[in-house]
Amino acid sequence: MAPQLSLTLVTFSAADPGGWEHLAERARLADQAGIDRLAVSDHVAFGPDLDAYADPSQGGIAGGRQPTGPDGHWLEPLTVIAHLTAVTERVRFTTNILLAALRRPVVLAKTASTIDVLSSGRLDLGVGVGWQRHEYLAAGLSFAERGRQLDHTLAVCQTLWSGNDVEFVDDRLQFDHIWQEPKPVGGAVPIWVSGTTQPRAMRRLARFGAGWIPWGDDAADITAGITRMRAAVEAEGRDPGGLGVVGNLPSVVDDAGAVDLEATMAAVPTLTAAGVTDFRGNVRLGATDEQALDELSRYVEAFRSATA
């Protein structure tokens, strides 16, 4: 698959920003400039223990820092995507990551299908288990069982997308003779599984994934992480060759504080050869729409040249 360029759209704020109108304009500019994908984050509620974000044993990342306090403002990502697909034409949208286990599976399947159909097939779902115990408690779910709940949720969604008059049975749910329309444009919404190369995440990726969103040490050393991922997925009986992989593309800044596009893109060919397919970039945008569009367009042009 051809390498793609994505950006994170910040849909949260430490305090009330006074309005979110800028999101639609940023999405339109990214669409016009040729960005391939926009990613939005997820939290549905917060408890007081935000230090868990820095604890890998809880699903966090060593040295990580939650970007807001518990009273931070976080928009619901699927609602944001539904809004932004209506003001764009070609850019894809993804969640990075959706805490899918917090949603009822039958409703999530319907919501994702609806967004995908209305956007002419421009939705990806990046999913993971998260790190916050209180979020699961607020949803009436077991934090310890979050991995199994995520697998259950994805299995139900894929069953409902697969056809009609379907049945499903596991230890959490049983149904038969169920119809749900409309189906996603491509037959299913692509699922990108986030996690390290630990066995449970790799089983999830092998079973459900169209792509992988590395986490922790596997993201820090992406080349080694991809090697471990491919071996783990192959051991699960799946050919890893068709899996997409997200990789970070940090901006290199010159002495004047401007992004050095040539230096920023220098690592792209090596990372592409290693298996990265979706480069998650970072662009500092100017104050005016004209400046922002120019910066985004030059960024996209530099990326395309690096992957030519």
The pLDDT value given to residue 258: 82
Q: Where are the beta strands (DSSP E) in 16-164?
A: 37-40, 73-74, 92-95, 123-127
Rounded Cα distance between 54 and 38, Å, is 25
Rounded Cα distance between 154 and 156, Å, is 5
The pLDDT value given to residue 1: 76
The pLDDT value given to residue 255: 82
The CA radius of gyration of the chain, in Å to the nearest whole number, is 19
C-alpha distance from residue 100 to each of 82, 130, 154, 274 (Å): 16, 10, 8, 29
**Nearest Cα to Cα of residue 141 among 195, 105, 191:** 105
Token couple for 57: 């044993």
pLDDT digits (tens, 9 = 90+) for 217-263: 999 999 999 999 999 999 999 999 999 999 999 999 888 878 899 99
The pLDDT value given to residue 259: 86
Q: What is the DSSP letter of 9?
A: -
pTM above 0.85, yes or no: yes
Token couple for 26: 């940023």
Rounded Cα distance between 238 and 251, Å, is 34
The pLDDT value given to residue 284: 78
Torsion 154-12-248-299 (CA) sign: positive
| Angle between the N-to-C axes of helices 105-118 and 77-85, in degrees from 0 to 180, rounded to the nearest 10 | 20
Check: CB of residue 296 under 8 Å from CB of residue 283.
yes
6 forms beta bridges with 37, 280
- Block residue for tokens 């596997």: 218
Token couple for 58: 């809880």
Q: What is the DSSP letter of 253?
A: B
The pLDDT value given to residue 87: 97
**Nearest Cα to Cα of residue 276 among 218, 234, 233:** 218
- CATH architecture label of 4-307: Alpha-Beta Barrel (3.20)
| CA–CA–CA angle 172, 199, 268 (5° rounding) | 120
Phi, psi of 74 (to 5 degrees): -125, 120
Token couple for 86: 């209506």
- pLDDT tens for the chain, 308 residues long, are 789 999 999 999 999 999 999 999 999 999 999 999 999 999 999 999 899 999 998 889 988 999 999 999 999 999 999 999 999 999 999 999 999 999 999 999 999 999 999 999 999 999 999 999 999 999 999 999 999 999 999 999 999 999 999 999 999 999 999 999 999 999 999 999 999 999 999 999 999 999 999 999 999 999 999 999 999 999 999 999 999 999 999 999 888 878 899 999 999 999 999 999 999 998 877 778 899 999 999 999 999 999 99
